[in-house]
């Protein structure tokens, strides 16, 4: 079992650009959540996808959007990048009714 996988590992962008991050959930999981972790902080919830729909959303602007595909994989899109968007972006997967969310290794985004 490969666990939760994310790509790319690292990414460098400039202000104003757009970025897409990808996540494949753990085998058997159908729910994907995205978190942003700034340096020295705990992860902050961005949104959660289930059955290809956004089920919950945290306090993030509309520049942050996502998508879930029929195979349960997911993408996080961020438009009009700001310097403050530099962070580790984490994907977590879980199964419906399951107790635990398992995290991937993250994508480190640097905005210059």
Q: Which of residues 54-93 bind another protein (CB under 8 A)?
A: 56, 58, 88, 90, 92
Nearest residue (CB) to another protein, 22 versus 45: 45
Least distance CB 35 / another protein (angstroms): 8
Distance CA(96)–CA(17), nearest Å, equals 35
Q: Tell me how crowded residue 41 is: count the other CB atoms within 10 A of its CB.
A: 10
- The number of residues that bind another protein (CB under 8 A) is 30
Nearest residue (CB) to another protein, 86 versus 103: 103
Q: Tell me how crowded residue 103 is: count the other CB atoms within 10 A of its CB.
A: 17
Distance CA(28)–CA(96), nearest Å, equals 10
45, β-bridge pairs: 35
Return residues touching another protein (CB under 8 A): 4, 31, 33, 35, 40-45, 48, 50, 56, 58, 88, 90, 92, 94, 96-106, 108
């Amino acid at each position: 079992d490969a666990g939760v996988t994310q790509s790319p590992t690292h990414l460098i962008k400039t202000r104003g650009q757009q970025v897409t991050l990808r996540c494949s959930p753990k085998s058997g999981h159908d729910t994907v959540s995205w978190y942003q972790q700034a340096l020295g902080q705990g992860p902050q919830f961005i949104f959660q996808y289930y059955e290809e729909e956004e089920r919950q959303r945290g306090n993030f602007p509309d520049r942050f959007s996502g998508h879930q595909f029929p195979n349960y994989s997911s993408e996080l899109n961020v438009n009009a990048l700001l310097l403050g968007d530099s962070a580790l972006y984490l994907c977590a997967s879980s199964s419906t009714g399951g107790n635990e969310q398992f995290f991937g290794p993250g994508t480190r985004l640097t905005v210059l």
